[in-house]
Amino acid sequence: MSRQVAFMEEVKGWVYEAGDFVKEELRHVITVEEKSNRHDLVTNVDKATEQFLVNKIKKHYPNDTIIGEEGTGKSVTSKDGRLWIIDPIDGTLNFVKQQENFCIMIGIFEGGKASYGFIYNVMKDEFAYGGRHTGIFINEKEIKNIDNIGIRDGLIGCNAQMYTENLYHATDICKQAVGVRVLGCAGIDFLNVITGRQNGYLSKLAPWDFAAGVALAEPLGLICKQIPDLDYDILGDRQFFVVATEKTYHEIVSDFK
Amino acid sequence: MSRQVAFMEEVKGWVYEAGDFVKEELRHVITVEEKSNRHDLVTNVDKATEQFLVNKIKKHYPNDTIIGEEGTGKSVTSKDGRLWIIDPIDGTLNFVKQQENFCIMIGIFEGGKASYGFIYNVMKDEFAYGGRHTGIFINEKEIKNIDNIGIRDGLIGCNAQMYTENLYHATDICKQAVGVRVLGCAGIDFLNVITGRQNGYLSKLAPWDFAAGVALAEPLGLICKQIPDLDYDILGDRQFFVVATEKTYHEIVSDFK
């Protein structure tokens, strides 16, 4: 087993452990707080899951840098070395209201380059992991390639606000697709794109929402960009973001400027 | 076992059989045709599944009336007697593009009154069934009651076109909720509402899209109506439709006329 595969397997084990912790917590009362507004929630489980993962990383890789949605590494400004970006529960509204349709996500960047991604849809038990050194897997099965379908031949995922306000032509773009889906969980949209169940996803995302996804998507030939047609910024604020097949991406860029 | 429970169990068995058939068909090539437009598909599996269920009903209950999405009973105009309304694969776009997130649905009406509903999310293996005579169950567990939450306290499902075009104030209504979901499968939205994972769902639906859902939702105290505030028509064309908790429904009706 190569050093990279061993590393991937180690982190994968931590994410499974975190998933078991979250499932156990769902048997108890969840404490919910509002963050910026009533659509933006955090729970005791988000915080505890982030802490669980941060403790694992600090114990095994004390020299690495960590950023987490729930407050870890707020002041990180350098992409040097190995950077871990954690979303302990992506889709917190779904977690609170549905007790399903949420993901645990970790993206790992090395020298600013996406290297490993982990997206675990806990209740569905669908786990995508891997990266440019190892290949990309879903529940032990390697994803070899994705059909390079155009916008009119697939389903597209979209952020609710972008879709309803036609931000960056999102409504017009989605109307080209065979259908639009609004799922409330970036991780599930990324899982859908890397398995070919959607040909793209448009949203406004923070780095912890897309770090794992780009590490999984780019090695599969999918395009990940800040809208319109810019590089994403892994240390930036929330940014308008697209992941899509190459063909769908080029159709979006050429038809909707 | 009462006559009604025995009947429910019999039909439940047919739906499980139909689910096994669909899963087996997913291992083969699916033939897809457009119906009214490129967003409205039908496959050989939709047709074969409808035929499978129609054959079961005709064999066991030859005097009953049957309507199916894929052409059975097009000319039915009477609500007398027992009426079966079948959607063999609800969410055909998801079926074709995702091979998941679709449902088999049967609604049974007696003298115009919703009596039994069956909604089976095949790939998730989540099955809701029952009705006003028997109680409502999900995977063998009875649903006893649903929190009567208001619009601001839950997630709401919405049809993409209604949401993006603000038809019947759908966009404004969805903005009141904590979040909106667009899932492309009425059956999953009904499953979400009867389990409390959503407080409502707004869409434009044909009778086969809502027949099973109303039979499950109404005995649980949920409101099912044609928008704005009319009785739904089980023999009608596609109609703007809402299912919601009583509180959410009354907020919609009072705030968005």
Query: Does the structure's ipTM exceed the value 0.90?
Result: yes
Which of A95, A147, A152, A182 should we substitute to test contact with B (largest number of B Cβ atoms within 10 Å)? Answer: A182
Report whether A137 contacts A129 (CB < 8 A): yes
* Count of CB pairs separated by less than 8 Å, A with B: 73
Which of B37, B39, B97 should we substitute to test contact with A (largest number of A Cβ atoms within 10 Å)? Answer: B97
The candidate with the shortest Cα–Cα distance to A185, out of B181, B58, B123, is B181
Place of tokens 């049967």: B106
Residue A255: pLDDT band (50, 70, 90) is confident
Q: CB neighbours (10 Å) of residue B21?
A: 18
Q: CB neighbours (10 Å) of residue B89?
A: 29
Which chain B residues are Cβ-neighbours of A182 within 8 angstroms? 160, 163, 180-182
Judged by a CB distance cut-off of 8 A, whether residue A248 touches chain B is: no
> Residue A145 above 90 pLDDT?
no
Which chain B residues are Cβ-neighbours of A185 within 8 angstroms? none
The residues pairing with B223 across neighbouring beta strands, listed in sequence order, are: B244
Per-residue model confidence as pLDDT tens digits over A85-112: 999 999 999 999 999 999 999 999 999 9
Does the pTM of the predicted model rise above 0.90? yes
The residues pairing with B129 across neighbouring beta strands, listed in sequence order, are: B118, B137
- Write down the pLDDT at residue B255: 79
Query: Which of B98, B124, B181 is the closest to A184 by Cβ?
Result: B181
Q: What is the mean pLDDT of residues A22-27?
A: 96
Place of tokens 């810019």: A230
- Write down the pLDDT at residue B13: 98
What lies within 8 Å, CB to CB, of B38 at 6+ separation is A152, A178
- The pLDDT profile of chain B, 257 residues, written as one tens digit per residue, is 899 999 999 999 999 999 999 999 999 999 999 999 999 999 999 999 999 999 999 999 999 999 999 988 888 999 999 999 999 999 999 999 999 999 999 999 999 999 999 999 999 999 999 999 999 999 999 998 899 999 999 999 999 999 999 999 999 999 999 999 999 999 999 999 999 999 999 999 999 999 999 999 999 999 999 999 999 999 999 999 999 999 999 999 987 76
